[in-house]
């Protein structure tokens, strides 16, 4: 029986144990939800996506500004992309693309350090595979959750597709419009 006026007390160790257990369970639930909601990328082995998250965003932004946005996608095989353009993108975006497995941990650490130092998202550090994951499936918002999903999708892309396919999808997945990121002239893709 409880005495009137006194609440039973829980030992401090037990309180901390339950808080830690609750935190672990919450993290496990969030991680499980994140894994279960990741997109299936296996169809990208043989199919080209008809639209991307980036294209949908650009279309939405154009509509809000009262402009038309018509993205065209004329797919070019990886072999059809000029070698000089491939090398230029590799040098400027992800020099170690053909050696890492979707995430360049050194660049990621440098980005985290700079972000912490400047107290904002100052440096991306995304690989070509991570850029593809973001363009195809995610928003452009800079949040830790988006970055984590980007990393997980990049790992799936790397496990399912060849490096050349990933690189080709990145080139072909950007909107080809006057205001867009890609420009196609004379059968060649130019940035």
C-alpha 13 chain-centroid distance: 40
In terms of Cβ atoms closer than 10 Å to its own Cβ (0-12, 13-18, 19+), residue 74 is exposed
pTM for the model: 0.76
pLDDT at position 2: 55
22 inside domain: no
Question: Taking 90 as the threshold, does the pLDDT of residue 130 lie above it?
Answer: yes
In this structure, the strands spanning 183-185 and 188-190 are: antiparallel
28 inside domain: no
Structural domain of residue 91, as residue ranges? 44-190
Within 10 Å of residue 124's Cβ, how many Cβ atoms? 17
178 inside domain: yes
Give residue-wise pLDDT tens across range 21-58. 888 998 888 888 888 889 999 999 999 888 888 888 88
Write the CATH number for 84: 1.10.3810.10
179 inside domain: yes
pLDDT at position 102: 93
Mean pLDDT score across all residues of the chain? 82
In the block, tokens 């059809």 appear at 80
Reported confidence tier of residue 89, pLDDT bands at 50, 70, 90: confident
What is the tally of structural domains in the chain?
A: 1
User: Encoding tokens for residue 55?
Assistant: 């294209």
């Amino acid at each position: 029986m409880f005495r009137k006026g006194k609440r039973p007390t829980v030992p401090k160790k037990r309180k901390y144990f339950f808080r830690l257990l609750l935190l672990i369970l919450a993290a496990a639930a969030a991680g499980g939800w994140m894994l279960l909601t990741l997109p299936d990328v296996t169809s990208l082995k043989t199919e080209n996506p008809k639209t991307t998250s980036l294209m949908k965003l650009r279309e939405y932004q154009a509509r809000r500004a009262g402009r038309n946005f018509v993205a065209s996608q004329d797919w070019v095989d990886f072999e059809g992309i000029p070698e000089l353009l491939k090398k230029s993108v590799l040098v400027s975006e992800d020099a170690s693309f053909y050696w890492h497995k979707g995430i360049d941990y050194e660049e990621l650490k440098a980005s985290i350090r700079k972000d912490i130092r400047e107290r904002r998202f100052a440096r991306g550090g995304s690989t070509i595979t991570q850029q593809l994951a973001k363009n195809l499936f995610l928003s452009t918002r800079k949040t830790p959750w988006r970055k984590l999903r980007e990393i997980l999708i990049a790992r799936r892309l790397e496990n399912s597709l060849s490096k050349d396919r990933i690189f080709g999808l990145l080139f072909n997945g950007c909107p080809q419009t006057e205001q867009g990121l890609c420009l196609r002239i004379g059968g060649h893709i130019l940035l």
